[in-house]
Amino acid sequence: MYQDKTLVCKECGSEFVFSAGEQEFYAERGFQNEPQRCKACRDKRKNAAKGATAREFFTAVCAACGGEAKVPFEPKSDRPVYCSECFAKIKASEG
């Protein structure tokens, strides 16, 4: 039913094959558009996006045990911060 197609990458201009199997996969998922980038350019964009979402962690003192707590937000002095273990204990006791 499907046949391999040769497409041109809009990013690097190289030709790449949109295989019959990939076309079937796209159709099963309901995707309307053909890919516009070759695998190398898709992977490069995907990896660049992952790097942009890397979180910055802050160090604080755990309000329960006094140990070091690394958290993905900047701690404020008016709210307690807990290390992973103490936070898990508090959540378990609430449930």
Look up the domain containing 29 and give its range: 5-52
Please provide the average confidence, as pLDDT, over all residues in the chain: 90
User: Same domain, yes or no, for 43 and 66?
Assistant: no
Q: How far is CA 43 from CA 27, 40, 49, 89, in A?
A: 21, 5, 10, 40
Is a pLDDT exceeding 70 seen at residue 23?
yes
Q: How does residue 51 score in pLDDT terms, banded at 50, 70 and 90?
A: low
Nearest C-alpha neighbor of 8 from the set 41, 46, 44, 43: 41
Whether this prediction's pTM lies above 0.75 is answered by no
User: Same domain, yes or no, for 48 and 18?
Assistant: yes
Contact 60, 81 (CB under 8 A): yes
User: Same domain, yes or no, for 41 and 12?
Assistant: yes
If one counts the domains in the chain, the total is 2
Q: What does the alpha-carbon distance between residue 51 and residue 39 come to, in Å, rounded to a whole number?
A: 18
User: Same domain, yes or no, for 12 and 48?
Assistant: yes
User: Same domain, yes or no, for 10 and 43?
Assistant: yes
User: Same domain, yes or no, for 62 and 45?
Assistant: no
User: Same domain, yes or no, for 12 and 41?
Assistant: yes
